[in-house]
Structure 1
Amino acid sequence: MLADSHPRQGERLDALRAYDILDTQPESDFDDFVNLAARICDMPIALVSLVSHDRQWFKAKTGLDASETPLDQSICSHAILEDGLLEIHDTRTDPRTVENPLCVGENAMLFYAGAPLVTAEGLPIGTLCVLDYKPRRLTDLQRDTLRLLARQVMKLLDLRQSLRDREALHREMDHRVKNSLQSVSSVVRLYARGVTDPAASEVLEAVQRRINSVGALHEALQGAEDSHSVDVADYLGRVCGLIESAAPEGVTVVHRLASVRLSARKAVGLAMIVSEFIANSIKHGFADGRAGTVSVTLEPESEGAMRMICQDNGIGLRSDDPDPSHAEGLGRALVEAAATKIAGRLEQHIDESGSRLTLTFPV
């Protein structure tokens, strides 16, 4: 006997679709419920059955090979019309099941008990049910347990839905943050083009690098399972790529970075030092238009410590250079502040072969 449609069938089906659970892969969390229900009720078959518009589909099952049945074979479609647990002691004598193909012939299912899976809005989307090949009755404890397990199945479904909603909101927020950073970066770049004061231009360039660094960090955190740490090889690689894209022709930025996860705070400090060194090398080490390379290396220094080396093969030491390190006021201050923030030991050196910066810091 085909069950009648639920009085709120449209809303019920919308609620079921919202859980995005139909035709998903088996999951141990749901399997645990059917295995426990089968053991407590001493039944050969237990199912988490979801009733759609044209079929009932089993998210979890034990004792049954089929993954779904059409509605004309669905006892659960009758169960969702009840206010509470539906128990059919002998399916051969109940008008709802007497002609059901599953309840006649060899291996007929002669007992059914199903506790509805009900949303917070009172909409039944399926059942947690148990079946047997012989007529029988549940005990009061078994009935109470089946109802309790059905409520726990719904809590699991609601939790999964909440997590999906939160992830969707997080992706939207990430998208907006990324767009905002790009907008701010564009504004700073436009202002920098019209500035003639060298000091102001230096500040705007430093701001531009910092925005790009934050944008790269945000992108790295987006793809990370741990939102508090990043793979520094990936992050610093992006920072180097951003700076190289603005470098003059002939100047190449290369990097060899150990893959290690560091806190976002330390990663930002390293990015600040790398971006300032590369920008300083481009400005001074290759000021005469020569081609060359800036390299960044990150490697283990000892147990519990890392070493980062930034170097270039630019102009190097010049007799007429009043500042042998080439590091100017703002850049020097930013690098030193970043090193201090991550408890790093900073060494800078310049000679005829180019400039070199070494940073040793604890992991």
Structure 2
Amino acid sequence: MKPSLHPQEEERLTELRRYGILDTEREKDFDELVEIASEICETPVSVVNFIDEGRQWFKAEVGLGVRSTPIETSLCGHVILQGDFVEIPDTLRDERMADNPLCTSEPGFRFYAGAVLKGANGLPLGTLCVLDNKPRTLTDRQRKILMVLSKHVMRELNLRIALEDERVLRREVDHRVKNSLASIGAMLSMKARRTSHEALKLELDDASTRIRSLASLHAELHELEAGGHIDLKSLFERVQADLRYLIPESATLSIEVDAFEATPQLANALLLIVNEFVSNSVKHGAKDGIGAITVHINGGAGSWSIVCRDNGKATKLDAERAMSKSGLGTRVIHSLANSLSANAEWEATGDGMELRVAPQHN
């Protein structure tokens, strides 16, 4: 007997497609769940399946060897029309499955037990089920474990939905922040052109360039979230031009990067460390507005290091304060280092401040 359509079939299919799980590759997280289900329930077959239009598609399976079957022969297509858990001790004694070739063939599926997978709106999407070639029943413990495993399937899918929603929201927020910074920078620049007060004009121009620099830096950080690996040399060539607006005209900034690719997490952290060091140097370390800041990033993805230096007025006491995280900038840098399982070391060299950040070695 072919399964009937769900009373809310269109809504059900819309909810299923919202999860974006159909026709995806096999994944260890789901494969392990069906392996556990098959072992605990002592059945040769276990699957995580979703009832699509015209087919039954398997995200994970043990003992089946296929990724989809026609809806006409789907046992789970019947089950999703029932409650949360369905157990059929002998399929040939069930009128819905007695003529199903998957059950009548040799060796056919004579036993079925499945926990229904439901979407956030309560509509059934598929099942986590186990099958055997002989009639039987599950124990209470096996039924309970099968239900728990089904909840793990949906918890994983719902988590992915939540993470994607968060990424969409963050992209929208990032877009608005970038536009806001650009608008503020343009407004300050306009006010600078209109004022006749020379000192105020210089202050407004300075504020405008700094805000445009922040907007550009924000855009770089946003791009890093796209995934994949980042060419650090190319990234910091762009960033150096932006950071140049943060330092006095008479000062110099040099960023040298040995070419290697980094994960977005590492690239993001290094970018923020450099930004904080440059900001701190301008605020505390430059000699009367004249100075030099250098940054050297080298190594590989697993053995990288970054050295930042300025030729300001840093003393031994300044280095101790930086190590104790007394300021916001130094706290940010130490926090970023911790996120990378790295150490941040500050030293007053006599010719300025030096910051070294490198992964911890066990």
Q: TM-score, normalised by structure 1?
A: 0.70
* Residue 103 (1) aligns with residue 110 (2): no
CA contact (8 A) 1:56 1:68 kept: yes
Counterpart residue number, 1:279: none
Question: Alpha carbons of 1:273 and 1:183: their partners in 2 closer, same or farther (altered >3 Å)?
Answer: same
For 1:123 and 1:170, how far apart are their aligned partners in 2?
29
Counterpart residue number, 2:355: 361
Structure 1 residue identity aligned to 2:307: M
For 1:253 and 1:202, how far apart are their aligned partners in 2?
22
For 2:280 and 2:242, how far apart are their aligned partners in 1?
14
Structure 2 residue identity aligned to 1:299: H
Counterpart residue number, 1:316: none
Deviation track 1:161-192 (CA, whole Å, cap 9, x = no partner) reads 11111111111111111111122222222223
Task: Tell me which structure has the larger Cα radius of gyration.
Answer: 1
Out of 282, 294, 299, the residue aligned to residue 296 of structure 2 is 299
Counterpart residue number, 1:83: 83
Measure how far apart 1:78 and its partner are: 0.5
Measure how far apart 1:151 and its partner are: 1.9
Which structure: greater helix fraction?
2
Counterpart residue number, 1:198: 198
Counterpart residue number, 1:181: 181
CA contact (8 A) 1:189 1:208 kept: yes
Q: Secondary structure at the match of 1:125?
A: strand
Measure how far apart 1:131 and its partner are: 0.9
Question: Alpha carbons of 1:359 and 1:239: their partners in 2 closer, same or farther (altered >3 Å)?
Answer: farther
Question: Alpha carbons of 1:151 and 1:305: their partners in 2 closer, same or farther (altered >3 Å)?
Answer: closer
Counterpart residue number, 1:210: 210
Structure 2 residue identity aligned to 1:108: G
For 1:213 and 1:84, how far apart are their aligned partners in 2?
56
Measure how far apart 1:232 and its partner are: 8.2
- The 5 A counterparts of 1:1-363 are 1-224=1-224, 236-242=236-242, 255-257=255-257, 262=269, 266-272=273-279, 297-299=294-296, 306-308=307-309, 342=330, 360-363=354-357
For 1:161 and 1:67, how far apart are their aligned partners in 2?
23
For 2:214 and 2:347, how far apart are their aligned partners in 1?
21
For 2:22 and 2:145, how far apart are their aligned partners in 1?
25
For 1:6 and 1:148, how far apart are their aligned partners in 2?
24
Structure 2 residue identity aligned to 1:77: G
| Count of aligned residue pairs for this structure pair | 301
For 2:356 and 2:88, how far apart are their aligned partners in 1?
68
For 2:306 and 2:60, how far apart are their aligned partners in 1?
49
Structure 1 residue identity aligned to 2:102: L
For 2:180 and 2:219, how far apart are their aligned partners in 1?
13
Counterpart residue number, 1:322: none
Structure 2 residue identity aligned to 1:306: V
Deviation track 1:251-277 (CA, whole Å, cap 9, x = no partner) reads x9975246876577643334447999x
Measure how far apart 1:17 and its partner are: 1.4
Measure how far apart 1:296 and its partner are: 6.9
Q: Secondary structure at the match of 1:4?
A: coil
Measure how far apart 1:72 and its partner are: 0.3
CA contact (8 A) 2:256 2:297 kept: no
